[in-house]
Amino acid sequence: MKYISEIMPSLLSGTKVTVELFVITLLLAIPIGILLALGLRSRFRLLKIILEAYVWLMRGTPLLLQLIFIFYGLPTIGIVFERFVAAVIAFVLNYAAYFAEIFRGGLQSVSQEQSEAAALLGLSKQQAFRFVIMPQVVKIVLPSMGNEVINLVKDSSLVYVLGIGDLLRAGNVATARDVTLVPLVLVGIIYLLLTGILTYIQNKIERGFSYYE
Amino acid sequence: MNNPTALQLIDVTKSFAHKKVLDGVNLQVGVGEILSIVGPSGVGKTTLLRTILGLETVDQGQFKVNNQAFNPKDHSQNKIGIVFQDFRLFPNLTVLQNIMLAPLRVQKVPHDKVDGDVQQLLNLLQLEEQKDYYPFQLSGGQKQRVAIARALILRPQILCYDEPTSALDAQNKSQVSELLRTFKERQITQLVVTHDLEFAHEVSDRMFNLGEQTQ
Ligand SMILES: Nc1ncnc2c1ncn2[C@@H]1O[C@H](COP(=O)(O)OP(=O)(O)OP(=O)(O)O)[C@@H](O)[C@H]1O
Ligand SMILES: [Mg+2]
């Protein structure tokens, strides 16, 4: 027990880093993902092709490679980022692509007919999107977004390779130093708590959207 | 036809790929008139309606509303309303919200004024009990009446229906034809695209047979 309270501060500060990365990534990747999704449905072929290539690149290569590429690779051509910034860039670029695919699917499944009906009532494209299309898309994408959000918590441990003091690193350092399994078990428990809280929130939100079918 | 012209189509032509669906359609509808557009399946009734609504781009032809050139793609004036065959209510909004969305956001009518209008419409269309329901909680006939209310609240001069009886039983049908007559008294011009010849005979002042293209 005494040992646990000794290592807890370092684990909690690691948790703080993990949560920060998580929150910043979500706040940036969701709006970018929505914009990408709109671009993917655009009439401009060139834009579409570029964005499709981008999504393919981000989803078709390992996130770990992308992290290493940005932090260790880019400096060889003179582009240098601070550790945490490099991590944020990689995560946002990667997750925005996943979110874009989810939102694109959501937009596709809200029928063209709904847009027509809104247009005929005189609603502008923006009004139709805000009051009619987006609320329906959100309901549709909630389950898959929930999965990705949980994945993000776990993926955040990949920043280990950049030497960032996240939760996993904090646990690993303590285990190596004190030769005990306890820190890693605690790390596991903290991850479970984080994903548990997120699952709870996800269920709440989904229930919030179950008022219509 | 001795009342003034509400809607006029001049030489409206529309092809899909190389198939000419509408071949120089000429059509006039008087103010307050109920015109049924009939004809065999695939003849282009829905397409004609969609051109009037600006949902299809015509190859050729003109539109006039009240004898003035009219661009069907401009929906900002809410001159023409539509009740779709599948109603197309917004599933994320209640009956009340479905009806009030456009007057509040497009026409920017003050809230208390819209409230009054909605109340009257709910009465007329017997939807009072359902005003806080979501579309999935409504019967087919109720959905249609919400779609009618949603169009009517914008005070269109012309109201169009695509196959208004296709989802209705006999009782609902006679209720709808009664409604159409009520709207006629209010000088609303109505265009009814339908397969249902019996209904067309019962409700309309005049029939336009698209297959024959005569008037
Ligand atoms: N978007 C489209 N692309 C290609 N062809 C189309 C399109 N819409 C309609 N058509 C064709 O135009 C013709 C007329 O179709 P329309 O739906 O207007 O017929 P309709 O008279 O309403 O038939 P119904 O009574 O069965 O509803 C059909 O041959 C149809 O295949
Ligand atoms: Mg049709």
Which tens digit of pLDDT belongs to each residue from A47-71? 999 999 999 999 999 999 999 999 9
Q: Is there a contact between A122 and B134 if contact means CB atoms under 8 Å apart?
A: no
In chain A, the residue whose alpha carbon lies closest to the alpha carbon of B133 is A212
| Cβ(B51) – ligand 1 distance below 6 Å | no
Q: Is the pLDDT of residue B116 over 90?
A: yes
How large is the average pLDDT for residues B94-107? 96
Give the containing element (helix H, strand E) for B68: strand B68-69
Q: Which is nearest to B153 in space by CA: B113, B117, B188, B119? A: B117
> Is the pLDDT assigned to residue B215 strictly greater than 80?
no
* Distance in Å, alpha carbon of A18 to nearest chain B alpha carbon: 36
Q: Hey, whose CA ends up nearest to atom 10 of ligand 1?
A: B16
- What is residue A202's predicted lDDT score, i.e. its pLDDT? 95
What's the pLDDT score for residue B171? Answer: 85
Give the residue among B183, B148, B42, B101 at the shortest CA–CA distance from A123: B101
Ligand nearest to the CA of B161: 2
> Hey, is the C-beta of B53 within 8 angstroms of any chain A C-beta?
yes
User: Does ligand 1 come within 6 angstroms of the Cβ of B46?
Assistant: yes
Average pLDDT over residues B151-166: 95
**A59 to chain B, closest Cα gap in Å:** 32
Q: Is B10 helix (H, G, I), strand (E, B) or coil?
A: strand
A196-201: average pLDDT? 96
> What is the rounded average pLDDT of the residues A146-161?
96
Tokens for A156? Answer: 């955040």
Residue A179 has pLDDT above 70, yes or no: yes
| C-alpha span between B41 and A124 (Å, rounded) | 33
Q: What is the pLDDT of residues A83-114, one digit of tens each?
A: 999 999 999 999 999 999 999 999 999 988 99
CA distance to partner chain A, nearest, from residue B95 (Å): 12
CB contacts, 8 Å: B89 with chain A: 117
For chain B, the farthest-separated pair of C-alpha atoms sits apart, in whole angstroms, at 52
Which among A119, A131, A135 has the least Cβ separation from residue B75?
Answer: A119
User: Confidence band (pLDDT; 50, 70, 90) for B2?
Assistant: low
**pLDDT tens digits for range B41-61:** 999 999 999 999 999 999 999
Tell me how far the alpha carbon of residue B143 is from its chain's centroid: 15
Tell me what the mean pLDDT of segment B16-37 comes to.
Answer: 94
- Of B45, B53, B162, best ligand 1 pocket probe by most atoms within 8 Å of the beta carbon: B45
Of B91, B101, B151, the CB nearest to A136: B91
Buried b (16+ CB within 10 A) or exposed e, B57-73: ebeebebebeeeebebe
Sequence-separated contacts (24+) of A102-105 with Cβ below 8 Å: A102/A33, A102/A37, A102/A141, A102/A144, A102/A145, A102/A148, A103/A33, A103/A34, A103/A36, A103/A37, A103/A137, A103/A141, A104/A36, A104/A37, A104/A40, A104/A41, A105/A140, A105/A141, A105/A144
Does ligand 1 lie within 6 Å of residue B14's CB atom? no
pLDDT tens for residues B57-100?
Answer: 999 999 999 999 999 999 999 999 999 999 999 999 999 999 99
Residue nearest to atom 31 of ligand 1 (CA): B42
Q: CB under 8 Å, gap of 24 or more: what pairs does B174-179 form? A: B175/B141, B176/B144, B177/B202, B177/B203, B179/B124, B179/B125, B179/B145, B179/B148
Predicted local confidence at residue B214, as pLDDT: 44
Which residues, chain by chain, have CB under 5 Å from ion ligand 2?
Answer: B 46
**A38 CB contacts (<8 Å, ≥6 apart)?**
A107
Q: Is the pTM of this model over 0.90?
A: no
Average pLDDT over residues B178-200: 95
pLDDT band at A211 (very low <50, low <70, confident <90, very high): confident
Q: What CATH number does domain A2-212 carry, 1.10.8.60, 1.10.3720.10, 2.40.40.20, 3.30.470.10?
A: 1.10.3720.10
Contact A123 B102 (CB under 8 A): yes
Cβ contact (<8 Å) for A123 and B78? no
Interface test with A, best of B92, B94, B133, B153 (most A CBs within 10 A): B92
Give the three-class secondary structure for A174.
helix
Q: Is A29 exposed, middle or buried (0-12, 13-18, 19+ CB in 10 A)?
A: buried
What is the pLDDT at residue B170?
84
Instruction: List the strands of the sheet with B60-65, edge to edge.
Output: B19-30, B5-16, B60-65, B68-69
Please indicate if any CB of chain A lies within 8 Å of the CB of B154. Answer: yes
- For ligand 1, whether the C-beta of B47 sits within 6 Å is yes
Question: What average pLDDT is seen over chain A?
Answer: 95
- Counting atoms of ligand 1 from 1, which one is nearest the CA of B210? 21
Res. B22: pLDDT tops 70: yes
Interatomic CA distance for residues B127 and B95, integer angstroms: 9
pLDDT of residue B213: 61
Compute, in angstroms, the gap from residue B45 CA to the centroid of ligand 2.
6
Q: CB-CB: which of A114, A120, A136 is closest to B75?
A: A120
Interface contact B106-A121, CB threshold 8 A: yes
The residue-averaged pLDDT of A153-179 equals: 94
- Report the pLDDT value the prediction gives residue B168, as an integer from 0 to 100: 85
